[in-house]
Chain A
Amino acid sequence: MKQHSRKNMIALTLLGAVATATGVSVAEDVADKPMISPKTMADALHLVMDSDRTVYTQKIVNRLAKKEKVITASEHFEDEKALVLPAQMFRFGSELVAKRAEKLPDVKFSYSLQSMWPVNKQNAPKTEAEKAGLKFVADNKGQNYYTVEELGGTKYFTAVYADTAVAPVCVSCHNDHKDTPRRDFKLGDVMGGVVIRIPVEG
């Protein structure tokens, strides 16, 4: 019985090893197999970005600045010893991604927050796709805008997602800002859009 058990153990171990090796090999094959379309990838990226930003806006900025009033949020967060604004957090993340992606040749995407009514004029739509996309998501609540455009000799799949005023701080900050071109935003309004670009072939 004891010997039988040992044989079983050896067989099981061998079987386990083979199964693990096969699993690893299959996993490697699957990992390298292109399955995700640029649109699905853009949608997934946006889901993460939007969720993180919503959590930051609600659970940190709105809670601490608006509800509990223990700290303010400011564009000049260092000088004012304040929280980073949600839009800045988004932009800093985007800049860090761009910086880190330079060392990852297979990771090619960029994203930015833009608006037809930008506080910083550099964030106004520039390309035709941005202009059409921002107008589309503002006019068609709940829908995204997808297109292909060529910039600097490279073709991009470009997705535009509505950026909505989810918290009172979004509205008050934008309506009161010295440089805002629009002061009548209401809660739930589309204030701009997230533009994600993924280079594509063809």
Chain B
Amino acid sequence: MNEKRFAPWMIAAVILAAFVVAGVLVGLSQLGGTSAEDEGEEVQSLMSGIPQDGERLGQEDAPVEIRVYEDLQCPACAQFTRDSLSQIIEEHVEPGEAKLVSETLAFIGPDSVPAAKAALAAGEQNRHWQYATLFFLNQGEENGGYVTDEFMTNIAEQTRGLKVEQWNESREDDELESRLQEVQDTASDNGVESTPTIVVSGPGGERELVGAVPAEDVTQAIEEVE
């Protein structure tokens, strides 16, 4: 048989062809992975592997708690998210030293209410932090009318692992109104006057930071209350 004589060459050709086709497939996959989906992927990779429960990100028994009073329409909150959040998560939350708790307020304008409800609804599937972070990264002009159903659903679709249909049902839940009121009451009781207000508490006491503070300030507060 002729093919026997050419066998080594044919095997080499097949091996080469497999590598070439695999390379093409990898290239196509990378193209798909660097689409508009990237932001959702980045946020997911930042938070993946960290326990989440409702509005809490981090281990329940973490010694330090970082409560973040925020309104999804607040630009300073978006800035804090963009500039400081990933460092705080990587350095303190992921290792189990601290946990983040989002205190979602809705006081800036009428659009803050559906936005806050959207984040709370995502929290019911333990995706609050991914959803809120993606919202901040795509935030529009304060009270500019960008908070439409389409906008919020788009964020939901970018949120990895969020079942959008279930999230939509959760958003309609009447109970969310009372939860928003509870956060508002807590904020008033604690004298929170602006967002973001970041309350760092631990065995050594409590520190309050106001505004889009750098991650280093939060680190210092953590060290003081540990």
Q: Do A and B bind each other?
A: no
Residues of A that sit less than 8 Å from B by CB? none
Residues of B that sit less than 8 Å from A by CB? none
